[in-house]
Amino acid sequence: MKFFFTISFLIILASCRKAVITPDTAFPDLPAYSEKGLNTGGTLINNKAWITHPLAFLSTVRPVQLFSYPAGDSVVILINGNYKDATLPDQNPNTIFIVLKNIHISTDAELLQMNGKTYLLDGTTNYGGISDSYGYNKTGHGSGSIRFGKVSEISNVTVGDGSPGNPVLHPYIISGQFDMTMSSPVNYSFTHGRFDVNLIRSSNQFVIF
């Protein structure tokens, strides 16, 4: 069975959080690193700013997706975005992916265990790369690291009333930072990467709001 930790839009709670996103003081083209569930992210790709997709009303665009494969003990993280400079002749990549092996996430408790953990990307077992939108046609076995910051439940916010088909759920904050290099088919350097998303579980899915 494949468990999905997918990011999308949930209007019910979006109005409850007025995000204040500030630029990074050292890298003003990127949003500052945060651990508040602001649904932001980005990185420098060969020193050019690349920003995660913003959320929009009724949009299916997702800034970050996490897919867990418990049977295979692996997690795939997709970070979706585009260059801040829309005039660049080459706008690839659309998605940055990171594969983490030997990780089992099928419950909320297992998700919370990622809080504060760092995973080295050795380019073989754990690795990253680029792909078309939403993980299609993955390329690369990049090396580096991904460091999860705050991974926590927001216990004072509740969705659902506990009735059949409408379970009581709490949203989660997932934040982190990453750096990575890859050399095939093109030399890419991903530096000062960061993400800060707010998500909620629905059945076997996590959805952002």
Residue extents of the structural domains in the chain: 3-208
Its pTM stands at 0.86
What are the percentages of helix, strand and coil residues in the chain, rounded to 5?
5, 45, 45
Q: pLDDT band at 166, cuts 50/70/90?
A: confident
118 CB-side CA count, 13 A: 7
What is d(CA 200, CA 8) in angstroms, rounded to the nearest whole number? Answer: 10
What backbone torsions phi and psi does residue 159 show, to the nearest 5 degrees?
-120, 135
- Lowest-confidence range among 53-62, 107-116, 149-158? 53-62
Is omega for the bond preceding 93 within 30 degrees of 0, making it cis? yes
Question: Per-residue pLDDT for 181 more than 90?
Answer: yes
Give the model confidence (pLDDT) of 39-51 as tens digits.
999 999 999 999 9
What is d(CA 90, CA 198) in angstroms, rounded to the nearest whole number? Answer: 30
